[in-house]
Chain A
Amino acid sequence: MTVQHLSPKPMEFQDMMALSLDVSFFTSEFRLCDVIAEYLADIVAQSHEDPARYANFSSQLINEIVEVAFSSARAMSKVDFKLVKNGLCIRFSVGFLYEKDSSMPWATLCEPAAASPRHPVHDLIALAQAIEVDIHAEADADDRVLLVADFHAREAVH
């Protein structure tokens, strides 16, 4: 998990797709995490040299992010999945409102917070580090958290 993020400025990104779901619908069935992750990973991988393998690789992380949203998003709100791209990477993000009483510091997914196994993103960070994909979190004033992963075309699936 990188805190100081070095990726290009957001305005350089072009939209690829956006999907907005009611949390109550999204959390009605756990299987949806897998379905959504596979769908998004296919799009992430479509212009990769080996789309089938890259989709499998990216779905591993995307699924974990989607599962974090599944278990942390506050009811009666929306969860937003988004893919944008620029010349360097495809950026995947999930935005959702987390439970207000959560004591976990979502906004700054820094190392100490991540080190706590109780933090909802603990496993996600461990995975991202293992497979060397940059992820970070942003939070806005409305307590909405945005989990962001950048997939680079150069990423090693050779």
Chain B
Amino acid sequence: MSRFASSFSVEFNELNQEIVLSGRMRPRISEEMASVTDVVRRSLLESQNTVYVNLKRLTHLNMTAFRCLEDTLINACKAGPQRNIVIVTSSVIAWSAPLFKTLASGLPNLVVEIYDSAFYPGQTFVEDESFIPILRTQTKMTWRHEREILRRHGLRDGMAVADICCGIGDFATLVKRHFNPTRLLALDHSKKSLEYARQVAEDFGLKSIEYTYGDASQMLMADSQFDFVTCRHSLQIFDRPDVLLRELYRICKPGGRVYITNEKNSHCLGEPHSETIRWTYEQVAKLFSHFDMDVEMGPKSRRLLTDAGFDAIQVETFMVTNLDGDPRDFADVIEAWENVYAGQMAVRRGDPPEFIRRFRQGFKDHVLAALHPKGYAGWPIWAASGRKPY
């Protein structure tokens, strides 16, 4: 509630021919929109052929602001009938597409598109349904460690908790059962994962988890709502982790903590065959970086949290190994990684069959290390948290 009625930004990205409007636009009078309409008007006039007006992160808009944008768009459409204007909205903001579609009917060179893909670089891989079983087993393995780690980072019974980028919601159900929060919100941008999450919660008779479909980089919740905000294995898949951290900071209460986990994939290890395993996981890191994702982020957590304004930062590492619980679980996860990383991502990058064969071999050796009666396989994770200052 403490956010200002109007706190918005407008940027023009010349390279992509994209005008990005974001934030809350609820001005009292149209004059307050002058700086925005000016940028929009000039950017539209400068652009040739097709120009995108990205409204995916425009969360609030009153009709005073809408009418200003409408005038600017209508004038630009008339001034350049050869120019196509594509208004890009997201289905997270349910009013946005229907409202802007009222404009498009009278203007042949203006279209409205609901654009929920390409939200972040690796979305096609991460939101693929084949990821669901991996996330399940991963959480089962990490929870053995995190259950205690979370206490050390300040999670207590009866807090208001948010799990951002919750995936299929397993972590939220575990938090619900073990920490009994007064409020528990779980947000993700994958509808399939959320559907699954709701089903799991229902099966366990867990009623009060608020699952919400949303964009972590521009959330719809008000400021300072939660005592403990978690974001696990997800900062590392964003090309702009700072933007996400800013939102995690915003929804956290002063004195509350934001807890993040990230990997350093090149440090996955195993014996025997340590060399082939090491080579493969170094390639994993390079592969992700090709798609603008940083799965080497773990050790950078301290810097990221500090730069985002947190204090009292805690960082610890833990290693998920084949000795925790059933080694078959670990082997299943590695096989799933192989399927997605070698079977999909490397293929998409255009890697030659010889590379893919060698790449796969490291995963197979890692599985072998996990299942070998004398073998050892490990997956290191960095758990870090920071306090939002009072």
Residues of A in contact with B (beta carbons under 8 Å apart): 30-31, 33-35, 38-39, 49-57, 59-61, 63-64, 67, 123-124, 126-127, 129-132, 156-157
Contacts and interface: CB of A to CB of B under 8 A. Distances in A.
A112 B1 CA distance: 37
A123 B5 contact: no
Given A51-B210, A157-B94, A38 B67 contact: no
Contacts of B219: 52
Nearest to B221: A52
Nearest to B99: A130
Given A31-B5, A33-B5, A56 B26 contact: no
A116 B97 CA distance: 24
Nearest to A54: B94
Nearest to B96: A60
A59 B60 contact: yes
A64 B26 CA distance: 10
B102 A126 contact: yes
Nearest to B93: A56
A51 B214 CA distance: 11
Contact of B95 (A38, A52, A126, A131): A131
A54 B213 CA distance: 10
Contacts of A55: 220
A63 B62 contact: yes
A52 B187 contact: yes
Chain B interface SS verdict (over half): mixed
Nearest to A133: B95
Given A56-B59, A123-B66, 6 more contacts: A31-B4, A35-B5, A50-B210, A56-B94, A57-B95, A124-B63
B212 interface: yes
B185 to A, nearest CB: 7
Nearest to A59: B60
A130 B102 CA distance: 7
Contacts of B198: 49
Provide the main secondary structure of the chain A interface.
Answer: helix
B94 A156 contact: yes
Contacts of A127: 63, 66, 95, 99
9 contacts: A30-B5, A31-B4, A34-B5, A38-B1, A50-B213, A55-B220, A60-B61, A123-B66, A130-B95
Given A59-B60, A63-B26, A67-B62, A52 B212 contact: yes
Nearest to A122: B63
Interface string B208-229: 0011111000011110000000
Contact of A35 (B1, B61, B211): B1
B151 interface: no
B98 interface: yes
Interface centre among B1, B28, B92, B94, by most chain A C-beta atoms within 10 angstroms, is: B94
A53 B98 contact: no
A126 B220 contact: no
Of the listed residues B64, B98, B212, the one surrounded by the most CB atoms of chain A closer than 10 A to its CB is B212
Given A38-B1, A51-B212, A56 B63 contact: no
Nearest to A68: B63
B95 A53 contact: no
B215 to A, nearest CB: 11
Interface string B1-19: 1001100000000000000
B101 interface: yes
Contacts of A33: 5, 26
Contacts of A57: 94-95
Given A34-B26, A53-B220, A130 B213 contact: no
A50 B214 CA distance: 10
